[in-house]
Structure 1
């Protein structure tokens, strides 16, 4: 399979890229600046030179999304999977009285509008068939039932991302393309912190099992965890 993964230079994005290429897939690794990507991604590229393809892609900049998609189209490349992984968590632990609205807008620009931009330009490159998948990396913070009165920009943007995922799922249902908003768990990343009980590698393994249909989804929810179980809406 050919996968597009945004935010592929670190954290979960890097783990997803690593897991995918180890399983024999080709990854178009979306990074804001290919010349300044992480040493880990550089090492992975050297180990799998024909499987890791760096792609300049800033999800906050629509022109780079369009240019990246046009580059793949010019090379006659189609995709099997789109993973919208790039995201930020800003204004952590701020009360509603304290938050900077510009930071809220920036969070939505990356966490919600970013995936929308990616899908807008890359969906025409996605095979419309039952083996194709769009994954939006979400969070339990986006659940109405789990609302905890904090992390407003992140939680609200992920809740909106869940809605976008459900809309996209219905849009593509006749094409049998699977669309999921996936809660990756609390994992040790720059965002999750060192106290997190899970690892990016564990989450990446679970997400790839969903993509490869090794995990069977037996419900009708588009908001799931890495085991394929439905998350509270």
Structure 2
């Protein structure tokens, strides 16, 4: 297989690469893949019962979460993503009219105050201005509405340096943890820029936006989510995901 040598400063450009995109799909389809086993179960738990609720999905990707939200009884769904290839795939699972192509660095909601649940899965670590996005999220949530964010865990994003076996890290070398800012991540045959933030910064940004933290998970592995118990055991060595739940006050 040929390799991609590109370096991408923004997530959507990375995923729209003609070689990266199929590699990403292949990675997501792998048995006991990390998002499916470590991140998604905690996102689903924090999002709560979606029956009769409206869901805004920032960084909606291939639309799988949107399809599951509607299957769970959500009365309305809207997905936003900057990648044309991801949105095209999402449109095979969802009504294209529920999808919006937009750059989340400048995105503004056309419908403030109407969304009961907002999700931002594995996307905000591509953005420089987290407070700006969180302010917009607060504006579009209903009173008492829920925000669920997932990101790569800060012990991973600080250096991207570790020992990996079959796609599972057995050790990460934590360096320059409190020096926040851009990092280059080599993944799927290319390099993509991500932004490292500490756990303290994520929690503080939520509070600063008026969205106090109500739940936190580091993607603790649950044996029932793994087909191969050996993978579940190996995943206990290093936390690779951080999932945060926050709520907009009712008054």
Q: What TM-score, normalized to structure 2?
A: 0.45
Greater RCO (CA < 8 Å, at least 6 residues apart): 2
Greater Rg, structure 1 or structure 2? 2
Greater share of strand:
2
